């Protein structure tokens, strides 16, 4: 098995753990234990990096405790796979920065933000170019969570219509992974109190019925459902630390 295949399988396995913790079908997510028990430690650390901010979803959305050993294993994952170069991989750099910000917040150690500095010269496509813009926002879907705010979130708040167009286009093209990532942004927007041109509840269920297969796609939909179920100001305590 190639390292790429091993990393992808490990990411799916970790997504299953996170999903179970988030929807109540499994126990608490424990990244440190997941890495310790994994037959391939490097692949497990790669999985932590691939999921990035989504590893923290049970803590942010379901109020689970975040343990010091879990913070340590995320740091170890950054050591094994350092943050991306901000000038060449701006999208990945933004996801890395989001992971570092949430790690610092949950561990109450602000120095951990330095694991992945915020990219300074990354410019999103104009919302008028809604097709390219929505593809980029889909790639940034892990930022659609609690505890984060920044230029991408500001763009999302002003881009309900292009996000909705991108979602509809993805459904028509049967690109269901992209549709799931975009509906996650739409659910986040409704949680933020932004008016939407389509019903995100219906959109989430439609993606679930026609193309919500796979652990990471299912995780996107589970996170979207959490936003739709929560009203503004009722986030779990962990999200407000």
Express each pLDDT in 108-144 by its tens digit: 999 999 999 988 766 676 677 899 999 999 999 999 9
Are 209 and 108 members of one domain? no
CB within 8 A of 8, min separation 6: which ones?
none
Over range 184-212, report the average pLDDT: 94
The predicted-structure confidence for 180-197, as pLDDT tens digits, reads as follows: 999 999 999 999 999 999
Are 6 and 118 part of one and the same domain?
Answer: yes
Question: Whole-number mean pLDDT of the chain?
Answer: 89
Other Cβ atoms within 10 Å of 142 Cβ, number: 25
**Domain that residue 147 falls in:** 124-241
Identify whether residues 111 and 183 lie together within a single domain: no
How far apart are alpha carbons 165 and 161 in whole angstroms? 6
Residues 131, 115 share a domain: no
Local confidence band at 179 (pLDDT 50, 70, 90 cut-offs): very high
Whole-angstrom Cα distance, residue 188 to residue 153?
A: 10
- C-alpha–C-alpha distance, residues 85 and 98, integer Å: 15
Same domain? 113 vs 159: no
Q: Are residues 218 and 202 in the same domain?
A: yes
3-state secondary structure of 197: coil
Same domain, yes or no: 149 and 82:
no
Whether 61 and 148 share a structural domain? no
Q: 232 pLDDT exceeds 50? A: no
Structure tokens at 191: 């949680």
Domain end residue (candidates: 100, 122, 144) = 122
Residue 205 has what pLDDT? 95
Asked whether residue 219 carries a pLDDT value surpassing 90, the answer given is yes
Cα torsion 135, 137, 65, 218: sign = negative
**Banded model confidence at residue 29, pLDDT cuts 50, 70, 90:** confident
- The two tokens of residue 208 are 């679930």
Q: What is the pLDDT of residue 238?
A: 39
Could you tell me if 130 and 195 lie in one domain? yes
Rounded to two decimals, the pTM is 0.90
Are residues 178 and 201 located together in one domain of the fold? yes
Q: Choose the final residue of a domain: 101, 122, 143.
A: 122
Number of C-beta neighbours around residue 107 at 10 A = 19
**Please, are residues 165 and 134 in contact by the beta-carbon 8 Å criterion?**
yes
96, 122, 148 - which closes a domain: 122
Same domain, yes or no, for 32 and 20? Answer: yes
Same domain, 100 and 114: yes
Count: domains in the chain: 2
């Amino acid at each position: 098995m190639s390292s790429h295949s091993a990393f992808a399988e490990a990411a799916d396995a970790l997504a299953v753990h996170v999903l179970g913790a988030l929807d109540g079908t499994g126990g608490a997510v424990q990244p440190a234990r997941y890495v310790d028990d994994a037959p391939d430690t490097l692949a497990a650390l790669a999985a932590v990096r691939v999921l990035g901010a989504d590893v923290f979803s049970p803590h942010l959305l379901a109020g689970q405790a975040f343990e010091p050993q879990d913070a340590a294993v995320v740091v170890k994952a950054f050591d094994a796979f350092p943050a991306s170069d901000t000038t060449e991989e701006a999208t990945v750099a933004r996801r890395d920065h989001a992971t570092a910000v949430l790690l610092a917040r949950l561990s109450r150690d602000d120095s951990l933000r330095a694991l992945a500095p915020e990219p300074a010269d990354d410019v999103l496509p104009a919302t008028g170019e809604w097709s390219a813009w929505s593809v980029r926002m889909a790639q940034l879907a892990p930022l659609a969570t609690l505890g984060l705010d920044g230029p991408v979130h500001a763009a999302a708040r002003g881009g309900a219509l292009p996000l909705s167009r991108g979602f509809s286009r993805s459904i028509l093209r049967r690109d269901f992974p992209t549709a799931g990532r975009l509906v996650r942004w739409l659910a986040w927007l409704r949680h933020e109190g932004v008016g939407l041109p389509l019903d995100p509840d219906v959109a989430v269920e439609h993606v679930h019925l026609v193309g919500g297969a796979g652990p990471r796609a299912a995780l996107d939909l589970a996170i979207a459902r959490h936003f739709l179920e929560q009203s503004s100001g009722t986030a779990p305590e962990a999200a407000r630390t």
